[in-house]
Amino acid sequence: MPISFQEHRFVVTGGAGFLGSFLCEKLRARGVSADRLFVPLIGDYDLTREADVERLYATARPDVVIHLAAQVGGIGANRANPGRYFYANMAMGLHLIEQARRNGLKKFVQVGTICAYPKFTPLPFREEELWNGYPEETNAPYGVAKKALLVMCQAYRQQYGLNAIYLLPVNLYGPRDNFDLETSHVIPALIRKCIEARDANAEKVVCWGDGSPTREFLYVEDAAEGLVLATERYEQPDPVNLGSGREISIRNLTELVARLTKFTGRIEWDTTQPNGQPRRCLDTSRARERFGFTAGTDFEQGLRRTIDWYEQHRQS
């Protein structure tokens, strides 16, 4: 059943957040009018509560729900909140997918996480590898909760005919990201550390681990475009990776951020802290073949835009 941006009503959970704000801009550019795009705010709807999710569906009357809302952070936040992250992410998806079934939704888009992959997944990560091992320990509760929602989407498609799709974006970065050092992911944390050290004329910045793990990063506007294309064109139960296909070590990333922020001190590695998953790099062929998505933003250019945004918006 084709999705019409000019006719259907959309709910974007997490639509006021980092990725969600760009996704909403993309939807509006495709023709979704303000009266057909509903973003539930956390102060008005607690999506971990079934009654609030029922009220959301009754109020917004959506045809399409794109579920981005999540409780998540970097390694430190994941280690500090394993129970909270499992419960919140499981409960939100559980209630939203069940209400999608009850309300006869035309399409439900569940955004998963790269943390769902096994700790030692052969590179590049292919969607078929999702169940071939347990996720990396520091973010396993979050990853397992999100992966369980893939099973729920597939089961509801099989039993009830719910048109639910599941997407696996890799680590995102870009303007409007979370730069709080307690909860941020690696790129915003490195940018903030390097800029603050530069401005303080500090001799060094200290980074977790030994710098050996690799990561893949996807610019936030590219991710939003991938979500729009999948919402419009993809109709199958198989999970789909969203990524750039470019792998970089944390050590090389840190050196690149230091250069772009003009921090000239030394980088010190705290090997008492965890590295996280050893390597991450995605096979992105399924997204290209099934709904025509290819990431278009050069990594260094994306980093420069992110740094510029932070410089303009940080507290002086």
What does the block give as tokens for 119? 């700790």
Judged by DSSP in three states, 134 sits in coil
Catalytic-residue membership of 156: no
Phi, psi torsion values for 225, nearest 5 degrees: -65, -40
Query: Which of the following is catalytic: 45, 85, 117, 142?
Result: 142
N- to C-terminal Cα separation, the chain: 50
Q: Where are the beta strands (DSSP E) in 54-132?
A: 64-67, 107-111
CB 64 within 8 A of CB 8: yes
Paired strand residues for 12: 66
Provide Rg for the chain, Cα atoms: 19
What is the DSSP pairing of strand 214-219 with strand 247-249? Answer: antiparallel
User: Rounded to whole angstroms, how far apart are CA atoms 47 and 89?
Assistant: 9
DSSP output for 151-200: HHHHHHHHHH---EEEEEE-EEE-TT----TTT--HHHHHHHHHHHHHHT
Phi, psi torsion values for 77, nearest 5 degrees: -65, -40
User: Rounded to whole angstroms, how far apart are CA atoms 6 and 35?
Assistant: 11
Identify the DSSP state of 5.
T
H or E stretch at 249: strand 247-249
What does the block give as tokens for 167? 């997407």
Active site residues: 142
